[in-house]
DNA sequence: TTGAAAGCGATACCAC
DNA sequence: GTGGTATCGCTTTCAA
């Protein structure tokens, strides 16, 4: 490769212009106190004049630290994830980490192959709601030796951040019970989703402790269309209220119910999960279990940094909070 | 650094295990046809056994190609961007590129500093709706020599992909004119946003050719709250229809109008821009100018690859399409 | 306090 | 067809 004037400046260029050695440039920039003020200034001037920024990849090669973190998630089109990613970004930047982002399109195979491909370019991974099996993830880990933190799922032995769905479900069911509902339907999300299983588990425990009937529908894709697809099934069931796997599914239900002129909450109450922006803006506004998305992202980065710093992080569980809006009401007589 | 059994395998390990030189490993993996089948098999076996994946950063150092592209955008919380990013990801993966993502929080200073920091780790940038000034962007470019493609904005001399806002505005204005409206308000987005200026330009030309009055409000943040903040101003104006900078702003208007029981479209018609998922789900559903988000993302990657391949890409303009929904109706008598 | 030199992991070139 | 070696940009001993 021929170095033309067009190439970006390297440490050599700075050294030459400042009239010192590479080592001194490196020190002047990284540990200013170890170098004579005069030298430091010369280096700083030269660096500024050349617009020098160190090549982080080259640095990573020798330090073993890339200052990148990898974020893998199933579907950026689900508004839940951008919120989490945004929080991750913000927190990562605080510690001068950059973010590699990968969308797997809900495909477990893509997921593991992406992890493998990215592994050497990042110091660690934040896997958001990974769809691959526990054993596959462990295999990746053994093979790659890249620290992994899992969000929205618990997979031993990885540190993880999860929402307290059980408590969220308890709140939701308590709310519906107070309104007089005794038969609830649940529209299940993807079979591969740990959150789905977790939410269902919490829901079962809540309904049984309230001695209510639970009717399970699904599984559906975690999208508006997924919800619309089972709306008629739900309507035909004896349920007077329905809890959806997430807000998108709930919105699908709402849409289809409106199209069929099934009154919400007059004839059936609808509860979502996640509290995405949409939930508060539709009519009727959606009652939903809010998840601390920002907190999950932030905590994920913290756990990963702990891991990287040699500390052993503990799993974190973030609170959930029922947000009551217009889509739930008293059971129809 | 001490190489323990815990470290991920390198090309040396593979060479040792296969009993060949590094060079052969490299060739066997990159250009299988240039090596004896027997050697290739030995190498492949060794690589598989060790779980060897090449270090892309190290490779990039020598090839000058990182196989990464950098995506920079102002706010992931605006649903418009995840759609674009998703398309970028999909297209990038087709060509085996990984994506670095950065959210600048609408801050031009963060934007340029991120670009500089990432420059060496990517082969090129896709800047989505960058907020920095033209001259700042050009300065980055001169300094870094990293190819840049700009989305949703035109900044000479960068290749760019933009939506045909003028045509979208023409469609929207034509639609409103046909409904009898003669006085339209526009709620402007961020002053730093090129799209905002572009849309306004298109709108001015459309209203003037229809001989309609244009009342300008704003500038507001491109969010729901931004829209809500000027809703009362708009309501107090003589406008019978309002076009918002984007859908989020339009939803803010819609919300506030409902709170004040200002009928939409009975008393005032509302038009958005972008056609995010939300737009179709609120009540009344939002009439909006749809932008080809996926196409923008895809075209962006294509232009960037052209640039990287030494071809000189031409600017692209993607079509817009008015989606008529319930939020627009005949002018009130 | 500074400089020379080794080396991170991979590729490319040049002999053989 | 294969191996040795220089090299990418940077950090880090180790001497001076």
Q: Give me the CATH number covering residue A58.
A: 1.10.260.40
Q: Are residues B45 and B95 in the same domain?
A: no
Beta-carbon separation of B117 and A102 below 8 A? no
Same domain? For A17 and A104 the reply is no
Residue of B nearest to A113 (CA): B53
Determine, for residues B277 and A8 on separate chains, whether the beta-carbon distance falls below 8 Å: no
pLDDT at residue A5 greater than cutoff 60: no
Say whether both B175 and B271 belong to one domain. Answer: yes
- What was the pLDDT predicted at A190? 93
Q: Are residues A180 and A272 in the same domain?
A: yes
Tell me the percentage of chain B whose pLDDT exceeds 70. 98
pLDDT at B332 > cutoff 70: yes
What would the two tokens of residue A305 be?
């940094």
Residue whose token pair is 């918002």: B244
- Note whether residue B151 is domain-resident: yes
Instruction: Tell me the pLDDT band of A7, cut-offs 50, 70 and 90.
Output: low
Residue A273 has pLDDT above 90, yes or no: yes
In a domain, residue B304? The reply is yes
Same domain, B285 and B169: yes
Residues A153 and A297 both lie in one domain: yes
Helices A80-94 and A293-308 meet at what angle, rounded to 10?
A: 40
What mean pLDDT do residues B74-78 have?
A: 93
Position A2 confidence tier, pLDDT thresholds 50, 70, 90? very low
Same domain for A230 and A113?
A: no
Distance from CA of A286 to the nearest CA of B (A): 11
| Residue of chain A minimizing CA distance to B140 | A51
A302 lies in the same domain as A288: no
Q: Which domain holds residue B192?
A: 165-292
d(CA B167, CA B202): 7
Counting runs of H as helices and runs of E as strands, what totals does chain B give? Answer: 12, 12
What mean pLDDT do residues B185-196 have?
A: 95
**Contacts with A228 from chain B: Cβ below 8 Å:** none
Check CB contact under 8 Å for A255 and B79.
no
Average pLDDT of A280-292? 95
pTM for the whole structure: 0.91
Residue B5: pLDDT band with limits 50, 70, 90: very low
Burial annotation B188-210 (CB, 10 A radius, 16+ → b, else e): bbbebbbbbebbbebbeebbeeb
B57–A281 C-beta distance less than 8 A: no
User: What's the CA B57/C1' D6 distance, rounded, in angstroms?
Assistant: 19
In what helix (H) or strand (E) does residue A250 lie, and over which residues does it extend? helix A247-259
The distance (Å) linking the CA of B14 with the C1' of C10 is 13
Integer Cα distance of A156 and B198 in angstroms: 52
CA distances A134 to A120, A164, B41, B75, Å, are 22, 20, 31, 33
* Protein CA at A61 to nucleotide C1' at D9, angstroms: 9
pLDDT band of residue B218 (cuts 50, 70, 90) is confident
Q: Does residue B326 lie within any of the structural domains?
A: no
B126 and B241 belong to one structural domain: no
Contact B83 A77 (CB under 8 A): yes
Per-residue model confidence (pLDDT) at position A6: 53
Asked if residue A35 belongs to a domain, the reply is yes
A299 and A286 inside one domain: no
> For chain A, what is the domain count?
3
In a domain, B222, yes or no: yes
Residue ending a domain, among B46, B63, B80, is: B63
Determine how β-strand A124-128 pairs with β-strand A148-151: parallel
Q: What is the mean pLDDT of residues A33-39?
A: 92
- Residue B56 is nearest to which of A76, A77, A120, comparing CB atoms? A120
CATH at residue B170: 3.40.50.2300
Do the Cβ atoms of B278 and A283 come within 8 Å? no
Max CA distance (Å), chain A: 88
- If asked whether residues A178 and A280 sit together in one domain, one would say yes
pLDDT for A83 beyond 50: yes
Which of A72, A76, A117 to mutate to probe the B interface, most B CBs <10 Å? A76
Rg (CA), chain A: 25
A174 and A266 inside one domain? yes
Report pLDDT for B6: 53
- Spell out the residues 6+ positions from residue A236 whose beta carbon is closer than 8 angstroms to its own: none
Per DSSP, the residues of B85-142 read HHHHHHHHHHTT-EEEEEE-TT-HHHHHHHHHHHGGG-SEEEEES--S-HHHHHHHHH
Answer whether any strand C atom is within 7 A of the Cβ of B34. Answer: no
> What stretch of H or E contains B299?
helix B293-308
Nucleic strand C within 7 A of Cβ B54 = yes
The C-alpha of A105 sits at a distance from chain B's nearest C-alpha, in angstroms, of: 9
In a domain, B98, yes or no: yes
Q: In what order do the strands lie in the sheet with A287-291?
A: A213-217, A183-187, A241-244, A269-274, A287-291, A320-323
Q: Which of B63, B82, B106 is the last residue of a domain?
A: B63
Fill in the DSSP letter of residue B232.
H
Tell me what pLDDT residue B1 has: 40
Regarding beta strands A68-73 and A124-128, do their DSSP bridges make them parallel or antiparallel, or are they unpaired?
Answer: parallel
Residue A261 domain flag: yes
Q: Is residue B4 part of a domain?
A: no
Q: Measure B204 CA to nearest chain A CA, in Å.
A: 30
């Amino acid at each position: 490769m021929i170095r033309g004037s067009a190439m970006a400046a390297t440490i050599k260029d700075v050294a030459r212009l400042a009239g010192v050695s590479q080592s001194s440039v490196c020190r002047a920039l990284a540990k200013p106190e170890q170098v004579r003020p005069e030298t430091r200034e010369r280096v700083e001037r030269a660096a500024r004049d050349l617009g020098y920024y160190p090549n982080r990849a080259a640095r990573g090669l020798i330090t073993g630290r890339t200052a990148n973190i990898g974020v893998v998630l199933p579907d950026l089109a689900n508004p839940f994830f951008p919120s989490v990613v945004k929080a991750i970004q913000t927190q990562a930047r605080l510690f001068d980490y950059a973010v590699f982002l990968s969308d797997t399109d809900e495909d477990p195979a893509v997921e593991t192959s992406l992890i493998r491909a990215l592994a050497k370019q990042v110091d660690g991974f934040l896997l958001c709601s990974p769809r691959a099996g526990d054993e596959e993830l462990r295999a990746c880990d053994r093979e790659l030796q890249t620290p992994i933190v899992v969000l929205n799922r618990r997979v031993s032995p990885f540190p993880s951040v999860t929402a307290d769905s059980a408590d969220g479900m308890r709140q939701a069911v308590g709310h519906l019970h107070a309104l007089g509902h005794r038969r609830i339907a649940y529209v299940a999300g993807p079979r591969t989703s740990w959150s789905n299983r977790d939410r269902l588990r919490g829901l079962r425990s809540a309904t049984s402790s309230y001695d209510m009937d639970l009717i399970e529908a699904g599984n559906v894709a975690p999208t508006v269309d997924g919800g619309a697809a089972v709306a008629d099934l739900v309507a035909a069931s004896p349920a007077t209220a329905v809890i959806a796997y997430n807000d998108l599914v709930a919105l699908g239900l709402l849409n289809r119910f409106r199209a069929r002129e099934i009154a919400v909450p007059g004839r059936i109450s609808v509860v979502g999960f996640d509290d995405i922006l949409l939930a508060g803006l539709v009519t009727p506004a959606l009652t939903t279990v809010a998840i601390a998305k920002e907190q999950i992202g932030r905590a994920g980065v913290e756990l990963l940094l702990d891991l990287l710093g040699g500390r052993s992080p503990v799993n974190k569980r973030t609170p959930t909070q029922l947000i009551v809006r217009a889509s739930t009401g008293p059971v129809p007589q």
